[in-house]
């Protein structure tokens, strides 16, 4: 808790320093802290392995700049208010820099301050800003190529999905880092400009206050206020120079992982020829009359000795026998095996690159947690464990798009905006909203992508507002429930039987595989799930199979018998605890026509296309009326027609439940809503 609010409180304290007067002892402590902070940043820049390891540096640079500016304002107030009391009025740190560093000579101090400012402003800061700008542009331009290289390595099997995702995140972070550094360099450059202006203002203001308000002689006022102003400027410019140097160092480094100290030693002084050439040139200068011979010759001897030592070490290392591990011979490639054949994901989710933060916990993404919740909820509803959802990014998708796949085949897709929220129109709202018009991908309802600030307004108008992660998770949940019969397979069925055998071992043992094979049980469970009947009551399912499997082996016929055994559960899921079941029936003439066609077509109704189209239209309209009335749409038909009509309406009228007469429990009353005629 304290670590989370420490930084905001510190920034507010910096801003308060601009307004509130500080005593001299506080200035001493803060100036010392500022110098120590700058030193820590310089050391950190040299010790990090790569720039992205210090990704917080732009923010740290901004805070350090604010600290210096706040100290400048606070020290200026103290100098101008109490400078007439002597050089110690603004604290011992400013006095030390004004008296010791510049020798007590304000002319020397002005020159030193101007030189430091020129070095900082013209050389280091300007160069670092230019490098940051070019690096950001080049890094951004190189992003597509780097992404393609990562995809090529992934397709070639050189890296796995996790490593590819990590490398793509590094590419995006690199572009963001150099862009931030480009902006942060402007802070340092502006700080140098402000330092010059503050120096001029303090000198003029101090002379005016000392001579006019405190009746000091001009020479004494100049000595006091100029020395204090120069000391104040130097104690601020030296940390600024260190930070500008840190900025220049970090933006001139390579992006790859490297030890900077080791790289400097390896690339600069590891070659003895470089030291030998330097030793020769210094020796020639050392014998020239009038030159500082001792200094040049001493340095030449040191360089020559270092070159000889490095050459001897390299020769000794080259003479050492090289050890070769037989199992790691250079150029040897591993033989392919079946382990290299990656299986197709049963349930997969692909996202565009702008949706990656939704699945990245490090960036605050909560989609993984939402998907785990979806799996738990759907598994409890359906009665079997839904397999894990494998998530990967796909650059072929548009940035905001996602795609849901089953067994490698897309079954749904949509687009979401991570920075916005979806306001869904549930059917009755009290006004429009400003935003991006769309449709809810799960249920097709009208919706609008709105800014998060509009959330309360949208809810007051009657909209249902959800975030992007909820949109994706809801769509995934809806598709899993819709295609549950495709997800359930032999492995899931065997796990269900194994778990049931712990509580009903005799039932499972006598049925599978003695009477029915696992394959037939799989077909029965898939048939139930295809008609939105959960298999969570597996014991009742197996008891019904055990009762009828002695005379029936056809999976479709067994499904019909199991549905009768599960009739209470089926009706309960449709109407809840209501004792009345509203139903829609077919005209007796149509039922007779369909029954005759079933008998003559071997189980498949031979409906005339026009009749089938009219029947479908009537059923769609009846289902819509029931939906408006807030009641379920249930079609009640003879048992022989139920499987065929359920399959006929599954794709066209998915909200229509098709029940047979013998599937209505005795405890429920049937209320006729309408009859569908020709």
Sheet holding 409-415, edge to edge: 389-393, 347-351, 401-406, 409-415
Q: Residue range 27-50: average pLDDT?
A: 83
104 and 69 both lie in a single domain = yes
- Please report which confidence band the pLDDT of residue 332 belongs to, taking 50, 70 and 90 as the band edges: very low
Contacts of the segment 116-123: beta carbons below 8 A, 24+ positions apart: 116/234, 116/237, 116/238, 116/241, 117/192, 117/195, 117/196, 117/237, 119/241, 120/188, 120/192, 120/237, 120/240, 120/241, 120/244, 121/189, 121/192, 121/193, 121/196
For the ranges 138-142, 359-363, 529-533, the one whose mean pLDDT is highest:
529-533
Q: Is the pLDDT reported for residue 175 higher than 80?
A: no
548 and 408 both lie in a single domain = no
Instruction: Single out the residue of 403, 404, 445 nearest to residue 422, CA to CA.
Output: 445
Indicate the SS3 state at residue 176: helix
When the pLDDT of each residue in the chain is averaged and rounded to a whole number, the result is 81
pLDDT of residue 256: 52
Classify residue 420: in a domain, yes or no. Answer: yes
Backbone angles phi, psi at 416, to 5 degrees: -135, 160
pLDDT tens per residue, range 231-244: 777 787 788 778 77
Residues 394, 349 contacting (CB under 8 angstroms): no
**Block residue for tokens 């997800």:** 487
pTM > 0.75: yes or no? no
650 and 627 both lie in a single domain = yes
pLDDT of residue 451: 93
Q: At what angle do helices 490-501 and 538-548 cross, to 10 degrees?
A: 100
Residues 471, 369 contacting (CB under 8 angstroms): no
Tell me how crowded residue 36 is: count the other CB atoms within 10 A of its CB.
11
CB-based burial of residue 364 (10 Å sphere; 0-12 exposed, 13-18 middle, 19+ buried)?
A: exposed
462 and 541 both lie in a single domain = no
Q: Is the pLDDT reported for residue 348 higher than 90?
A: yes
Compute the distance between CA of residue 163 and CA of residue 258 in angstroms, rounded to an integer: 19
Classify residue 379: in a domain, yes or no. Answer: yes
How many angstroms separate the Cα of 177 from the Cα of each of 53, 66, 132, 306? 10, 20, 9, 39
- Please report which confidence band the pLDDT of residue 598 belongs to, taking 50, 70 and 90 as the band edges: low
379 and 282 both lie in a single domain = no
Instruction: Single out the residue of 55, 60, 76 nearest to residue 11, CA to CA.
Output: 60
| CATH number of the domain where residue 382 is located | 3.40.30.60
Rounded to 5°, angle at Cα 549 from 548 and 554: 105
* Count of structural domains, the chain: 5
Q: Is the pLDDT reported for residue 504 higher than 90?
A: yes
- Please report which confidence band the pLDDT of residue 226 belongs to, taking 50, 70 and 90 as the band edges: confident
pLDDT tens per residue, range 507-519: 999 998 889 999 9
pLDDT of residue 331: 44
| CATH number of the domain where residue 517 is located | 1.10.8.540
pLDDT of residue 99: 67
pLDDT of residue 132: 67
279 and 407 both lie in a single domain = no
- The pair of structure tokens assigned to 575 is 């109407």
118 and 188 both lie in a single domain = yes
Residues 425, 447 contacting (CB under 8 angstroms): yes
Compute the distance between CA of residue 418 and CA of residue 631 in angstroms, rounded to an integer: 35
pLDDT of residue 286: 81
- E strands, 453-608, in order: 464-467, 580-586
Compute the distance between CA of residue 123 and CA of residue 127 in angstroms, rounded to an integer: 6
Compute the distance between CA of residue 652 and CA of residue 617 in angstroms, rounded to an integer: 10
Compute the distance between CA of residue 611 and CA of residue 678 in angstroms, rounded to an integer: 7
Compute the distance between CA of residue 68 and CA of residue 469 in angstroms, rounded to an integer: 42
Domain range enclosing 286? 271-311
pLDDT of residue 324: 43
pLDDT of residue 319: 64
Classify residue 159: in a domain, yes or no. Answer: no
Query: Number of helices and strands (H, E) in the chain?
Result: 25, 12
Q: What percent of the chain has pLDDT over 70?
A: 82
Q: Residue range 299-311: average pLDDT?
A: 85
pLDDT of residue 499: 93
Compute the distance between CA of residue 400 and CA of residue 417 in angstroms, rounded to an integer: 6
Torsion sign (Cα): 599, 600, 603, 609: negative
pLDDT tens per residue, range 419-461: 999 999 988 888 899 999 999 998 889 999 999 989 888 888 8
Classify residue 162: in a domain, yes or no. Answer: no
Classify residue 412: in a domain, yes or no. Answer: yes
Q: Is the pLDDT reported for residue 605 higher than 80?
A: no
pLDDT tens per residue, range 255-275: 555 555 555 666 666 677 877
Residues 470, 445 contacting (CB under 8 angstroms): no
Domain finish residue from 421, 447, 482 = 482
How distant is the alpha carbon of residue 57 from its chain centre? 20
Classify residue 167: in a domain, yes or no. Answer: no
Domain finish residue from 527, 546, 565 = 565
pLDDT tens per residue, range 6-15: 677 777 777 7
Domain finish residue from 451, 482, 513 = 482
Q: Is the pLDDT reported for residue 387 higher than 60?
A: yes
Compute the distance between CA of residue 662 and CA of residue 637 in angstroms, rounded to an integer: 10
Classify residue 279: in a domain, yes or no. Answer: yes
Indicate the SS3 state at residue 422: strand
Q: In terms of DSSP bridges, do strands 633-637 and 580-586 run parallel, antiparallel, or are they unpaired? A: parallel
Residues 6+ apart with CB under 8 A from 151: 164, 395
602 and 586 both lie in a single domain = yes
pLDDT of residue 480: 94
- Please report which confidence band the pLDDT of residue 612 belongs to, taking 50, 70 and 90 as the band edges: confident
Q: Is the model more confident about 236 or about 144?
A: 236
211 and 107 both lie in a single domain = yes
100 and 60 both lie in a single domain = yes
74 and 128 both lie in a single domain = yes
- Please report which confidence band the pLDDT of residue 323 belongs to, taking 50, 70 and 90 as the band edges: very low
Residues 349, 402 contacting (CB under 8 angstroms): yes
pLDDT of residue 440: 92
pLDDT tens per residue, range 96-128: 776 665 565 667 767 777 787 777 777 776 776
Q: Is the pLDDT reported for residue 327 higher than 50?
A: no
Q: Is the pLDDT reported for residue 623 higher than 50?
A: yes
* Three-state SS annotation for 574-594: HHCCCCEEEEEEECHHHHHHH
Q: Residue range 353-358: average pLDDT?
A: 91
Backbone angles phi, psi at 634, to 5 degrees: -125, 125
- Please report which confidence band the pLDDT of residue 245 belongs to, taking 50, 70 and 90 as the band edges: confident
pLDDT of residue 637: 93
Instruction: Single out the residue of 463, 528, 539 nearest to residue 497, CA to CA.
Output: 539
362 and 297 both lie in a single domain = no
Q: Is the pLDDT reported for residue 316 higher than 80?
A: no
pLDDT of residue 247: 77
Classify residue 331: in a domain, yes or no. Answer: no
């Amino acid at each position: 808790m304290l670590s989370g609010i420490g930084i905001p409180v510190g920034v507010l304290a910096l801003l308060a320093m601009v307004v509130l007067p500080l005593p001299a002892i506080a200035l001493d402590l803060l100036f010392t802290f500022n110098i120590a902070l700058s030193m820590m940043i310089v050391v950190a820049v040299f010790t990090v392995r790569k720039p992205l390891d210090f990704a917080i540096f732009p923010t740290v640079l901004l805070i350090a700049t604010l600290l210096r500016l706040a100290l400048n304002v606070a020290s200026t107030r103290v100098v101008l208010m109490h400078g007439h009391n002597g050089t110690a009025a603004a604290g011992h740190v400013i006095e030390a820099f004004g008296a010791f560093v510049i020798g007590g000579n304000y002319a020397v101090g002005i020159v030193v301050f101007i030189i430091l400012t020129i070095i900082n402003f013209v050389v280091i800061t300007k160069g670092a800003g230019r490098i940051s700008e070019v690096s950001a542009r080049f890094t951004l331009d190189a992003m597509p190529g780097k992404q393609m290289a990562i995809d090529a390595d992934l397709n070639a099997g050189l890296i796995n999905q996790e490593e590819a995702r990590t490398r793509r995140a590094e590419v995006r972070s690199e572009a963001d880092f150099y862009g931030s550094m480009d902006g942060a360099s402007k802070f340092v450059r502006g700080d140098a400009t402000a330092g010059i202006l503050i120096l001029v203002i303090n000198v003029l203001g101090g002379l005016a206050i000392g001579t006019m308000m405190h009746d000091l002689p001009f020479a004494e006022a100049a000595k006091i206020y100029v020395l204090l102003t120069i000391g104040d400027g130097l104690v601020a410019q030296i940390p600024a120079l260190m930070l500008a140097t840190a900025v220049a160092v970090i933006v001139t480094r390579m992006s790859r992982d490297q030890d900077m100290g080791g790289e400097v030693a390896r690339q600069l002084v590891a070659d003895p020829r470089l030291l030998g050439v330097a030793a020769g040139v210094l020796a020639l200068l050392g014998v020239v009359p009038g030159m500082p011979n001792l200094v040049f010759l001493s340095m030449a001897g040191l360089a020559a000795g270092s070159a000889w030592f490095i050459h001897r070490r390299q020769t000794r290392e080259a003479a050492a026998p090289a050890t070769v591990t037989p199992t790691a011979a250079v150029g040897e490639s591993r033989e392919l095996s079946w382990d290299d054949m990656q299986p197709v994901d049963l349930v997969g989710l692909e996202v565009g690159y702008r949706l990656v933060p939704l699945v990245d916990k490090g960036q605050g993404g909560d989609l993984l947690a939402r998907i785990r919740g979806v799996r738990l909820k759907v598994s409890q509803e359906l009665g079997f464990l839904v397999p894990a959802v494998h998530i990967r990014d796909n650059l072929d998708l548009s940035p905001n798009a996602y795609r849901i796949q089953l067994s490698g085949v897309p079954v749904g897709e949509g687009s979401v905006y991570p920075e916005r929220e979806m306001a869904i129109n549930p059917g009755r709202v009290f006004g429009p909203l400003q935003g991006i018009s769309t449709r809810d991908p799960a249920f097709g309802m009208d919706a609008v992508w709105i800014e998060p600030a509009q959330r309360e307004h949208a809810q007051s108008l009657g909209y249902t507002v959800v975030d992007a992660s909820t949109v994706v998770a809801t769509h995934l949940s809806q598709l899993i429930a819709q295609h549950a019969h495709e997800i359930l397979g032999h492995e899931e069925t065997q796990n269900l039987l194994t778990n049931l055998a712990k509580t009903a071992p005799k039932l499972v043992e006598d049925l599978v595989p003695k009477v029915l094979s696992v394959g037939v049980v799989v077909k029965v469970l898939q048939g139930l799930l295809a008609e939105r009947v959960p298999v969570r009551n597996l014991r009742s399912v197996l008891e019904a199979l055990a009762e009828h499997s002695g005379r029936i082996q056809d999976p479709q016929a067994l499904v019909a018998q199991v549905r009768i055994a599960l009739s209470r559960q089926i009706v309960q899921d449709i109407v809840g605890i209501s004792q009345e079941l509203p139903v829609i029936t077919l005209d007796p003439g149509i039922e007779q026509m369909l029954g005759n066609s079933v008998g003559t077509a071997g189980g498949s109704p031979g409906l005339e296309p026009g009749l089938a189209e009219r029947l479908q239209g009537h059923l769609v309209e009846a289902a819509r009326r029931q939906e408006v009335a807030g009641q379920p749409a249930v079609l009640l038909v003879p048992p022989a027609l139920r499987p065929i009509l359920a399959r006929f309406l599954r794709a066209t009228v998915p909200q229509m439940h098709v029940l047979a007469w013998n599937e209505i429990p005795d405890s429920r009353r049937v209320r006729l809503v309408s009859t569908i005629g020709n």
